[in-house]
Amino acid sequence: MKLQRFKEIALDGTVRQNPTFRLVLGTCPTLALTTAAISCLGMGAAVTFVLICSNIIISLLRNIIPDKVRIPCFIVIIATFVTLVRMFMEAFLPDLYDVLGLFLPLIVVNCIILGRAESFASHNPVLDSACDGLFMGLGFTCAITLMAIVREVLGSGKLFGITLWEGFSIAFFANQAGAFLTFALFIAIFNVCYNAVERKLKHRAAHKAVEAENKAAAEEA
């Protein structure tokens, strides 16, 4: 796999097609779990693992699975890995298992996983798909953890469970309305910054192209 391709997949997963702030996928766990940063890290790790494994298997079987049954096959494969994650967490990380509760099995119907399986893994080689799974998962993890840090600090005065300011809490950020507002603000800020950077890069690229043209013209002359 070429380095350029790797860079593209990495940038797509974490920034250009960030599943949370750009594609707005997987909003259910994003809104529900971002009251505590530590549980977001756990959820992010679980989603990343399922993304990588399911992308690898689906990519391996992409020429075997008929079009008619691709969605049921994808769901079976994704559900298997989610169940494995559940079993593992119940055995080795019971505290995290308790915290994630209902949202662990909901990973099966997380749009990020099915979306990437359908749009990327079923059309690309195994290594590319694995990398896509990794960086999409990282992008999701970073996004929800960032949101959780803000909500946890403002909502309960804690950070990763450690009390920063005793007795400080703005209940609004700990409840659903605060979740929506925080999410909306993050989407807005992320997209504003992304668009600004993209404009700058385009401008720079255009400037470089003009310079190169002028140089070529000067050399000809």
Binding region for other proteins (CB under 8 A): 61, 64-66, 68-69, 72-73, 76-77, 79-80, 83-84, 87-88, 90-91, 94, 98-102, 105
Inter-axis angle of helices 126-156 and 37-60, nearest 10: 170
Q: Helices marked H in 12-100 — which ranges?
A: 27-33, 37-60, 70-92, 94-100
What's the min distance (Å) between Cβ of 23 and other proteins? 26
What's the min distance (Å) between Cβ of 69 and other proteins? 4
What's the min distance (Å) between Cβ of 153 and other proteins? 18
Pick the closer one to other proteins by CB: 145 or 156: 156
What's the min distance (Å) between Cβ of 146 and other proteins? 21
Least Cα distance to 105 among 88, 86, 133 occurs for 86
Pick the closer one to other proteins by CB: 11 or 65: 65
Pick the closer one to other proteins by CB: 22 or 70: 70
Q: Which residues pair with 149 in a beta bridge?
A: none
Judge contact between 129 and 120, C-beta under 8 A: yes
Neighbours of 124 (CB within 10 A): 19
Backbone angles phi, psi at 168, to 5 degrees: -90, 130
Pick the closer one to other proteins by CB: 97 or 135: 97
Pick the closer one to other proteins by CB: 108 or 150: 108
- Give CA separation, 127 vs 9, 14, 130, in Å: 11, 17, 5
Judge contact between 145 and 41, C-beta under 8 A: yes
What's the min distance (Å) between Cβ of 135 and other proteins? 26
